[in-house]
């Protein structure tokens, strides 16, 4: 409706105010096209007061929803400093996004996604071509494929030689050598601001999954700085980077400081879309965990609680059960740390007068219980003493013999009573 009123038709005259109204309603309804059209009207001052700031705002919101023309318009505004501070880096990044959404890139992405799990080698190869061209999404995807160990493009063929150069070191495990490639593309993707790649690099540093590349040292070489002591340069060996072309990949050690830096960088990112919420929330959770137990950083429970709450705020629609459990354990941890040590507890307990009164009461109760047990035993022993004959239980056969005469006597007595009552004799039952 807004477009019809904006352009006008044979049946409907052009009405810019109604067009602005419908574009505004569409933008508040979440339509990226409505946001783009509304921003264009603010930019040109059509049917509304000109406002470059509002134009940048609505262009940015449209871009967050994947609107490519909005990215180009924002790039031009940042390039010329219209409605915002001139920033060529932002302009270049936005123009790069526009280029990456072209037909050539989109068609290859669709083909790579179609292969997916059916043929991971072909999917990885197509992602590799786009990743080497600088496509951030492809860099992240190819890193994920090699990280999971699905493709075997660089793995040894069955019964054949490894598909690698002799100068490189590769481990036999498929996921281990896949992580060598994955780490490189995670780093390339993280340089372009990918939250998921930055988070994954933090995991690499935390668990020691990363790889470090270096040159193989040879005899007569040195990796330290060259110091001029007035002697001939031939007396000082050159670093291995100048004397060796052998590249050695070695496993990295666990680096909590690097992991903390990666997690902190991810947690500090501005959430520009729903897809980023889970990654920023996970980074905040990991920071809270490391601060709670003092992993790679001094223990700070209050800061850990802030990170846990930040995790819940960033992703309100995510799973909150782990965060709730972590906060519960953190509260228990705080209570445990506030408990006094055994020596302090003994000192405080015996220094308090109330503890002495409590001990006296407990001792008195214990004495009364023991006295009651002693007297009850004496009473039972006196009931079965030598002055009283003990009552022995009768055998079951004797009981049956006694029961029979008693039953016969009771029957004859009741018959006699009935007979006398029939003769008119009054019985005084009292």
Asked whether the predicted pLDDT for residue 141 surpasses 90, the reply is: yes
Give the Cα separation of 13 and 5 in Å (integer): 7
Q: What is the DSSP string of 365-400?
A: HHHHHHHHHHHHHHHHHHHTSTTSPPPPPPPHHHHH
Strand, helix or coil for residue 214: strand
Would you state the pLDDT for residue 380? 85
pTM value > 0.75: no
Asked whether the predicted pLDDT for residue 228 surpasses 80, the reply is: no
What is the band of 428 on the pLDDT scale with cuts at 50, 70, 90?
very low
Q: Which of 243-252, 265-274, 291-300 has the highest mean pLDDT?
A: 291-300
Give the Cα separation of 218 and 243 in Å (integer): 8
Mean pLDDT across 63-82: 92
List of E strands, 216-282: 247-251
The more confident residue out of 107 and 425 is 107
Give the pair of three-digit tokens for residue 227.
């110091």
Taken in order 309, 310, 315, 316, is the CA torsion positive or negative? Answer: positive
Would you state the pLDDT for residue 430? 43
User: 119-132: per-residue pLDDT in tens?
Assistant: 889 999 999 999 99
User: Which residue is it, tokens 């920071």?
Assistant: 287
Closest CA to 51 of 65, 67, 40: 40
User: 1-42: per-residue pLDDT in tens?
Assistant: 999 999 888 888 889 999 999 999 999 999 999 999 999 999
Percent of the chain scoring above 70 in pLDDT? 76
Would you state the pLDDT for residue 130? 92
List Cα–Cα distances, 345 to 34, 117, 338, 354, in angstroms: 68, 62, 12, 14
Asked whether the predicted pLDDT for residue 372 surpasses 70, the reply is: yes
């Amino acid at each position: 409706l807004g477009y019809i009123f904006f352009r006008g038709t044979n049946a409907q005259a052009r009405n810019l105010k109604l067009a602005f109204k419908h574009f505004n309603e569409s933008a508040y309804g979440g339509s990226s096209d409505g946001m783009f059209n509304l921003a264009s009207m603010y930019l040109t001052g059509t049917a509304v007061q000109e406002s470059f700031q509002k134009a940048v705002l609505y262009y940015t919101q449209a871009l967050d929803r994947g609107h490519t023309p909005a990215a180009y318009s924002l790039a031009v505004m940042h390039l010329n400093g219209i409605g915002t501070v001139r920033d060529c880096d932002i302009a270049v990044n936005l123009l790069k996004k526009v280029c990456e959404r072209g037909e050539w890139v989109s068609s290859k992405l669709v083909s790579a996604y179609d292969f997916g799990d059916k043929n991971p080698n072909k999917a990885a190869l197509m992602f590799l071509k786009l990743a080497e061209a600088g496509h951030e999404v492809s860099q992240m995807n190819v890193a994920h494929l090699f990280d999971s160990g699905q493709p075997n493009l660089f793995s040894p063929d069955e019964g054949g030689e490894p598909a690698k150069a002799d100068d490189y070191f590769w481990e036999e495990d498929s996921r281990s050598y896949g992580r060598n490639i994955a780490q490189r593309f995670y780093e390339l993707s993280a340089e372009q601001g990918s939250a998921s790649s930055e988070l994954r690099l933090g995991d690499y540093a935390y668990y020691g999954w990363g790889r470090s590349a270096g040159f193989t040292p040879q005899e007569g070489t040195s990796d330290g700085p060259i110091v001029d002591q007035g002697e001939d340069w031939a007396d000082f060996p050159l670093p291995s980077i100048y004397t060796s072309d052998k590249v050695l990949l070695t496993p990295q050690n666990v680096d909590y400081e690097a992991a903390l830096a990666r997690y902190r960088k991810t947690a500090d990112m501005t959430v520009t879309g729903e897809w980023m919420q889970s990654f920023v929330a996970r980074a905040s959770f990991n920071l809270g965990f490391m601060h709670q137990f003092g992993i790679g950083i001094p223990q700070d429970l209050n800061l850990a609680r802030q990170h846990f709450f930040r995790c819940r705020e960033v992703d309100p629609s995510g799973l909150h059960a782990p965060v709730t459990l972590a906060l519960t354990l953190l509260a228990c941890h705080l209570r445990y740390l506030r408990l006094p040590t055994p020596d302090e507890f003994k000192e405080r307990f015996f220094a308090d007068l109330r503890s002495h009164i409590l001990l006296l009461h407990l001792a008195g109760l214990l004495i009364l219980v023991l006295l009651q047990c002693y007297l009850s035993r004496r009473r039972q022993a006196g009931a079965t003493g030598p002055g009283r004959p003990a009552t022995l239980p009768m055998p079951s056969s004797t009981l049956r013999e006694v029961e029979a005469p008693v039953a016969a006597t009771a029957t004859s007595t009741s018959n006699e009573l009935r007979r006398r009552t029939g003769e008119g004799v009054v019985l005084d039952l009292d």
